[in-house]
């Protein structure tokens, strides 16, 4: 588990029990033990099982977690994904955070898998966006990968992506798009990727000719996407964005675009219903 993931878990535990679990302390005997079984109540794709185990480990290293499934596995209701055994107070303190994170991540992985399945047989790939839950991006991005998707740039520091607001600034200053792209390219290191978003077909040639690595066709109709791919003619990676859902994804992929970015993977995924049935013994 990375330091960044551990930091997320520690902050979540501190938020949930800043001064301990007073309910367990007054109701559960100090020497009581607990066993628990993690099982899904609906079908899905698993993500966050190692995060689930790490929560218990950070609460109490004496808790034993046995994993019966791996991230990326598909599951059906009633399957045993993991078992937990340890001091009852510790198990009860960890259970909610462990479940919350695994349910959230599995929901993202499950939704991603549906998008990936919808474009099977095409050359397009599904990617996420920066529309992630603040503070949880590293976990949500893992969940996308567990569902068979790919990751876009991780942060604003990783690549250049000039979008509509950036282009509006250029227009207000009277700077041509092509000149701005060439000037940006001159400032960048040779390993930095440069992507530009366009929302009209008549912008495509100027952007591609200026030397971008990726062109994003934003909110284009499927007919416009076909035309855009033809205009680019392999000179840049073509990304489609906007208006993407499970009803439209197959038609978008069929236009020949290389990448389809889907904000819904992280901003609209529903948590999967996972249950942790706990049995306490004295």
> Does residue 6 have an active-site annotation?
no
Q: What is the CATH number of domain 120-267?
A: 3.20.20.70
DSSP helix/strand/coil, 198: strand
Residues of the chain with CATH 3.20.20.70: 120-267
Residues of the chain with CATH 3.90.1170.20: 3-115+269-281
Q: Which of 154, 179, 155 is nearest to 167 (CA)?
A: 179
Q: Which fold has domain 3-115+269-281?
A: Aldehyde Oxidoreductase; domain 3 (3.90.1170)
In the 8-state DSSP scheme, what is residue 18? B
- Strand pairing of 214-218 and 194-198? parallel
> Does residue 218 have an active-site annotation?
yes
Could you say which of 114, 130, 131, 153 is catalytic? Answer: 131
Residue 261 has pLDDT above 80, yes or no: yes
> Does residue 131 have an active-site annotation?
yes
- From residue 211, give the alpha-carbon distance in Å to each of 22, 185, 198, 234: 61, 8, 14, 12
Residue 147 has pLDDT above 90, yes or no: yes
What is residue 166's predicted lDDT score, i.e. its pLDDT?
A: 84
Residue 12 has pLDDT above 80, yes or no: yes
Could you say which of 128, 195, 197, 258 is catalytic? Answer: 197
Q: Whole-model pTM?
A: 0.95
Q: What is the pLDDT of residues 173-232, one digit of tens each?
A: 877 888 889 989 999 999 999 999 999 999 999 999 999 999 999 999 999 999 999 999
Q: Which residues contact 78 (CB under 8 A, 6 or more apart)?
A: 39, 40
Q: Rounded distance, CA 239 to CA 8, Å?
A: 31
């Amino acid at each position: 588990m990375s330091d960044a993931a551990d930091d997320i878990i520690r902050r979540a535990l501190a938020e949930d029990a800043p001064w301990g679990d007073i309910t367990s302390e007054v109701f559960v005997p100090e020497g009581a033990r607990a066993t628990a079984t993690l099982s899904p109540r609906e079908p899905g794709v698993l993500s966050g099982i190692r995060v689930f185990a790490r929560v218990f480990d950070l609460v109490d290293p004496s808790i034993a977690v046995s994993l019966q499934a791996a991230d990326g596995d598909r599951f059906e209701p009633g399957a045993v994904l993991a078992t937990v055994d340890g001091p009852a107070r510790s198990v009860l303190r960890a259970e909610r955070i462990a479940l919350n994170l695994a349910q959230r991540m599995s929901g993202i992985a499950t939704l991603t898998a549906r998008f990936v399945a919808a474009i099977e047989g095409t050359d397009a790939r599904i990617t996420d966006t920066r529309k992630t839950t603040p503070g949880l991006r590293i976990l949500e991005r893992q969940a996308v990968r567990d569902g068979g998707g790919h990751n876009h740039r991780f942060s604003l520091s990783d690549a250049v992506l000039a979008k509509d607001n950036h282009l509006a600034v250029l227009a207000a200053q009277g700077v041509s798009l092509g000149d701005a792209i060439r000037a940006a390219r001159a400032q960048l290191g040779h390993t930095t990727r440069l992507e530009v978003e366009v929302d009209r077909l008549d912008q495509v040639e100027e952007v591609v000719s200026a030397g971008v690595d990726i062109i994003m066709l934003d909110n284009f109709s499927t007919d416009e996407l076909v035309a855009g791919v033809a205009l680019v003619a392999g000179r840049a990676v073509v990304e489609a964005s906007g208006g993407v859902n499970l009803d439209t994804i197959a038609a978008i992929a069929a236009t020949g675009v290389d990448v389809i970015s889907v904000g819904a993977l992280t901003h609209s995924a529903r948590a999967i219903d996972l249950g942790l049935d706990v049995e306490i013994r004295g």
